[in-house]
Structure 1
């Protein structure tokens, strides 16, 4: 039955067109934004996971930046220790020279004084971002942020790597006039040759220097191990960040090839639906012709 009051064909065609337009709008949004899950209403579970993982990935990026700062602190301390080893080796050489009975020990001490001053200068200069790991002061431990983790219960933790400043510091403190005291090199700073000094006393200074060199080597080894840890963690953080980004992408990113194909199909369907609606609307005019005939 054909009715001039209700055009069921047009209503069906209009409903189809509305559905097509809705799907077309969704597809166009995915094509323009690149996301298939851009908001919570698109997929609550995937949106929730991606939001949390993106937040964690940002925190991981911040931890990576902190690693770079930590690496700089470690490199600064290592440079100081390495330089101190060279200076202490020079002091050792001067003591060997002083063991020769014909040498002027007072003149050799003048050279040692300058080397001791250099040790103090190295210790003072080894500061990065306000932290000096080779002069202990009130510090007992140096800390480097090296990671961000989320545990199984949903809690988060910041992980750190540490350096034992109290054991490995070159100096315990710096005096008001900039002279290092205490620490690994404290005894080296007390070396003072005189013309009347015996070989036994010089040998005692040699033992002091050897002990300092051994401790400096241990300090350098600890810093080297920490550098290796930081480098490995930095590489891991980069790899982990890439993995998180890939995982999140699989959840929320649109497949552009698929969406492009859908867009073309929906545009074709839209054209056909418009034509179908036009045909349905023309049926009322056909009834008018019946009365005209």
Structure 2
């Protein structure tokens, strides 16, 4: 079954961590937040730890990406199993690949698994697929990320920084379908035949949890998946629903506040409901 990682604000890590199948750990919070760092350093529940490079947060803020060398140091602080190598959204696909070539050996020597997140320039599906195929053919790459940045960008969906304006409904629909489109292109080119087991990680979830059902044909390729959607929507009073996407009005676009506290119990219960909604979807698919 897919290992789902529910991303939580720091004050509620203890509340939600047991609902995870794996844990995604954000580099910028490891660096900035002692409570967050200590929680994951001391967490020993037998579930995989994946240290993300915070590319989504850095890209949305227009900040430079974390260098892979620094990610190794941060990974040691939280005793992670995998490190997401530096990637460069909306830039030529070779830049991310070249950085991975440089960093695979140091990451392996430090005792971590390698997690490669292919990227490409805007509208360059071909470049993204070349980068994915390179990773599939490379025995030193342990996990491959398909993100809510890389997939829309490759599909020509204008994923930009937080400050660049509002999204319309057509944008949301295209974004929701982008990762499915990338999987479909891989299937048509027989790239999935190169897999000998689950190797992909879906980074993020956008306009509804029913993307899990949308990607049902590809679950056998997916090792893990992460999102803040269940907890962050719930803490803001939103419950997943029975609409086609599971989230009637699409993604709750307000940026996650990782230090938010004093949330009423009713909203915490919303977040627990949303986490169970996702976990139940995965269990149902696993039983089919």
TM interval, shorter chain, is under 0.3
Higher helix share: 1
Between Structure 1 and Structure 2, whose CA radius of gyration is higher? 1
Q: Which has the higher contact order (CA 8 A, sep 6+)?
A: 1
Give TM-score scaled by structure 2 length: 0.22
> TM-score, structure 1 length as denominator?
0.22
Query: Is the strand fraction higher in 1 or 2?
Result: 2
